Chains A and B, each alone.
Chain A
Amino acid sequence: MTEPLLKPRKKNPVERTRLATRPPGARSRTALGLTRAAAEGRFELQVCADCGSVQYPPREVCGYCLSEHLAWKPVDNRGELIALSTLRHSNDLYFRERLPWRVGTVKMTAGPVVVAHIHEDCAAPEGTGVPVRLTLKLDRSGQAVLHALPAKDTPNMNDAAQMRESTCDPKFRRVLVTDGKSAMGLATARAMLDAGAATIFLGDPSSWKTVAAFDKLAADPRVQVVELDVTDTDSVDRVAASIGGKVEILVNTASHLRDGGILGRKDVILARDAMEVNVLGLMRLAQAFGPGMCFRAADGSNHAVAWVNVLSIHALAALPSRGAWSASMAAALSASQTLRAELRGAGVRVLNVFPGPIEEDWEQLTPPPKLAPAAVAKAIVKGLQDGIEDLYVGDIAEEIRERLRDNHKAVERELGQ
């Protein structure tokens, strides 16, 4: 059974900080279908439309009937571990540092025989196969890999070193919540504490404003308040200079949301305010905190691991009644994709969160259903624990995303009515 992870000891300051290495990252374009599924937390393989057989590894034509009609679909993830080996030597820099490493062969109920990383709580097969569940995870290169997990959950299974490599669990990590005074920021901080975060750096963008829930949370000894206004470069730099070397997960909850389209106003001040917070704020944070997080991306068991942007489903499809804000969301999504590419070199993951409307002041007139901030925060924690990259929260977000795939013009017309 996995030993529970212990709170990491204080680092020896005269030892060199270990730099991040990455597992081999090259994949064929077809194989990136696995990456898409892993990034969104699904288990999908190609299924042949003509003969129904499940394919692995990913390929251009069916391995049985040569049909070209292969579609990515959710498939049964169960299987039997039929062979196990423990690597004790490797010429790969990444694996050398993580030996011993268990790999094995799994015969899937759905058909294919696959090679996977094997969780330490999976028993070794002796004569008969051992039942396991397969899961697709993103590794530190951002590419999908198969992990075999025990058929039933075991205590502390997420603490296993192999799991920590492909997930971003907040347990024992120090988390910066950039705007801790918003409903979303408060909920995020609480959810991170519940998930075992060691420290919350709680950003305060408006120290002149008293918010009772903020003061209550700030009284928790695990919470440290930092004055942080993402529109102020000096402020961002100052906070990074003070705690930048400690932030292992950064959750950007800073948000500027106002109603209004584009033609209805005589100025771009609100649009500019939205861009200042939602887009340039993200870039300021990235410039100030990104390099430090990359440097600490392999620093002990609680190394820097993830960057979370709380966006909106309207980053993907504009809501014309909030046109300027929608534009800022789309720009923030674009910036976050660049940030993801830039942080991937160190293995720091970017998790983009796309919720539907959230129950908060600026959504007062939005008709239900609206998401409770606590529900979104809980989904963010689970997204980190699962190690995914794109998180759609709530029915409205899920529906818009599905319908964008189906007919994006229909979504565009309907949101504009």
Chain B
Amino acid sequence: MSTPVLTQFLNELLNGRLKMVDLTQTLSPEFPTIVLPPEFGQAWPFRIEEISRYDERGPAWYWNNFSMSEHTGTHFDAPAHWISGKDLPDNTVDSMPVENFIAAACVIDVSKEAAENADFLLTIDYVKAWEEKHGRIPERSWVLLRTDWSKRATPKEYLNMAEDGAHSPGPDAEVVPWLIRERNVHGFGTESVGTDAGQAHHLNPPYPCHYFMHGNNRYGLQCLTNLDQLPPQGALIFAAPLKIRNGSGSPLRVLALTPSA
């Protein structure tokens, strides 16, 4: 009985009433990777080397080797990424249920606030006010924070480092458990380099989005782009991480399906 639904879906896609939006940043060596204090191990940035390009190394074919960490570029955070999620069932990218690769999305636009204050924190009150306008966040929905951070032109502006560390928006320590408890969300996604704010190490607990989301077997998406092309409600997200054994996360292609405006 599901075949007519899929047929209808494909028709809607082909006739343009549905469109696909790519929420993925291009993987390139220049794209910034999260920076930890230098005494810690660092996530590898994206690096690429040509194996051959129709040349003496391989006359008829072009291919590359690349290297990067699980948390480079647009990527997925599995619960095992954080200590709070380390003992949960199915908490790695290879073991998580495949149904969870598809979920609805609510897009909360804080781009105006973020432009005025790089340290802007999303609060419960802000989300409640958003719900007044756009409706209650449905269960099992991604909450995506639109900050327009993906439009920042240079790594310097994107990471926004000062002497006291990075400055970028994120959720505060109260809204994350509230979203899980009261709205049973699927996960949290951002345009910046992490799901938490740049200064989130000063919050209590530090990195609340990582701590609570992963501690409750929820997911994270970061380094997203094109969130400005999604409606506040009504988009569907397809986000399937690579099947890395015991992987804590993975770079991936994040696609949104959304009604054409």
Residues of A within 8 A of B (CB): 207-210, 229, 231-235, 267, 269-270, 273
Q: Which residues of B contact A232 (CB under 8 A)?
A: 29-30, 45, 47
Partner of B155, one of A208, A233, A234, A267: A208
| A235-B29 CB under 8 A given contacts A208-B35, A270-B41, A273-B42 | yes
Would you give 5 A-B contacts (Cβ < 8 Å), ordered by A?
A207-B154, A207-B155, A208-B32, A210-B161, A269-B41
Enumerate B126-172 residues with CB–CB distance to A below 8 Å: 154-156, 158-159, 161-163
Is the C-beta of B88 less than 8 angstroms from some C-beta in chain A?
A: no
Cβ-defined contact, A208 with B41, below 8 A:
no
Q: Is the pair A208, B47 in contact by a Cβ cutoff of 8 Å?
A: no
Min CB distance A259 to B, Å, is 9
B48 at the interface (CB under 8 A from A): yes
- How many Å lie between the Cα of A232 and that of B161 in the bound state? 22
Contact of A208 among B42, B48, B156 (CB under 8 A): B156
| Residues in B neighbouring A269, C-beta threshold 8 A | 41
Q: How many Å lie between the Cα of A209 and that of B30 in the bound state?
A: 14
Does B48 contact A234, Cβ atoms closer than 8 Å? yes
Say yes or no: A234 contacts B29, CB within 8 Å: yes
Does B49 sit within 8 A of A, measured CB to CB? yes
A100 to B188, CA, bound (A): 77
Please name all residues of chain B whose beta carbon is closer than 8 Å to the beta carbon of A234 when the two chains form the complex.
Answer: 28-30, 48
Find chain A residues with CB under 8 A from B32 CB. 208
Which residues on B sit within 8 Å (CB–CB) of A270?
41
Residue numbers in A under 8 Å from B154 (CB-CB): 207-208
Q: Which residues on the A side are within 8 Å of B156 (C-beta)?
A: 207-208
With A and B bound together, what is the CA distance between A207 and B162 in angstroms?
Answer: 13
Alpha-carbon gap, A273 to B36, bound state (A): 15
Contacts of B159 in A (CB 8 A): 208
Whether the pair B49, A208 counts as a contact (CB closer than 8 A) is no
In the complex, how many angstroms separate the beta carbon of A91 from the nearest chain B beta carbon? 39
Contact assessment for A233 and B49 in the assembled complex, using a CB-CB cutoff below 8 Å: yes
Q: Given A207-B156, A208-B161, answer yes or no on A231-B47 (Cβ-Cβ < 8 Å).
A: yes
Cβ–Cβ < 8 Å partners of B41 in chain A: 267, 269-270
Top 4 A-B pairs, shortest CB-CB distance: A232-B29, A208-B159, A208-B155, A208-B156
Chain B: minimal CB distance from A416 (Å): 24
Chain A: CB-nearest residue to B46: A232
CB-CB < 8 A to A233: which residues of B?
A: 29, 47-49
Distance between Cα atoms of A235 and B156 in the complex (Å) = 16
Provide the bound-state CA to CA distance between A233 and B41, in Å. Answer: 22
Contact digits for B41-62, partner A, Cβ 8 Å, 1 yes 0 no: 1100101110000000000000
Residue of A nearest to B29 (CB): A232
Smallest beta-carbon distance A131→chain B, Å: 56
How far does the Cβ of B252 sit from chain A's closest Cβ, in whole Å?
Answer: 22
Q: How long is the Cα–Cα vector from A207 to B30 in the complex, in angstroms?
A: 10
B135 to nearest A CB, angstroms?
38
Nearest chain B CB to A96 CB, angstrom units:
37
* Distance A267 CA – B161 CA, assembled complex (angstroms): 29
* Set of chain B residues within 8 Å of A229, measured between Cβ atoms: 29
Known: A208-B158, A208-B161, A233-B48. 17 other contacts (CB 8 A): A207-B156, A208-B32, A208-B154, A209-B161, A210-B162, A210-B163, A231-B45, A231-B47, A232-B29, A232-B45, A232-B47, A233-B29, A234-B29, A235-B29, A267-B41, A269-B41, A270-B41
* Complex: A212 Cα to B35 Cα, angstroms: 19
Question: B157 to chain A: closest CB distance in Å?
Answer: 9
The smallest C-beta distance from B35 to any residue of chain A, in angstroms, reads 7
Bound form: Cα–Cα A209–B166 in Å: 10
User: Within the assembled complex, what's the spacing in Å between the Cα atoms of A232 and B154?
Assistant: 17
- Across the interface, which residues of A come within 8 angstroms of B30, CB to CB? 232, 234-235
Provide the bound-state CA to CA distance between A306 and B45, in Å: 31
* A232 → B minimal CB distance (Å): 4
Residues of the B chain whose Cβ atoms lie less than 8 Å from the Cβ of A210 = 161-163
Scoring B residues 158 to 199 as 1 if CB is less than 8 Å from chain A, else 0, what string do you get?
A: 110111000000000000000000000000000000000000
A229–B49 Cα distance when bound, in Å, is 14
Residues of B within 8 Å of A208, CB to CB, are 32, 35, 154-156, 158-159, 161
| Minimal beta-carbon separation of A89 from chain B (angstroms) | 45
Tell me how far the C-beta of A183 lies from the nearest C-beta in chain B, rounded to whole angstroms: 14
Residues of A within 8 A of B47 (CB): 231-233
Docked pose: A207 CA to B32 CA in angstroms = 10
In the bound assembly, the distance between CA atoms of A275 and B242 in angstroms comes to 28
Q: Which of B1-53 contact A (CB under 8 A)?
A: 28-30, 32, 35, 41-42, 45, 47-49
Most chain A CB neighbours (cut-off 10 Å) among B35, B47, B161: B47
Chain A residues with CB under 8 A of B45 = 231-232
Q: How far is the CA of A210 from the CA of B154 in the complex (A)?
A: 13
Q: Which A residues lie within 8 Å of B28 (CB)?
A: 234
Q: Of all chain A residues, which has the CB nearest B160?
A: A208
Residues of A within 8 A of B42 (CB): 273
Q: How far apart are the CA atoms of A164 and B159 in the complex, in Å?
A: 46
A270 to B162 alpha-carbon distance, docked (Å)? 26
Instruction: Name the CB-closest residue of B to A209.
Output: B161
CA distance A232 to B49 in the complex (A): 9
Instruction: Report the minimum CB–CB distance from B153 to chain A (whole Å).
Output: 12
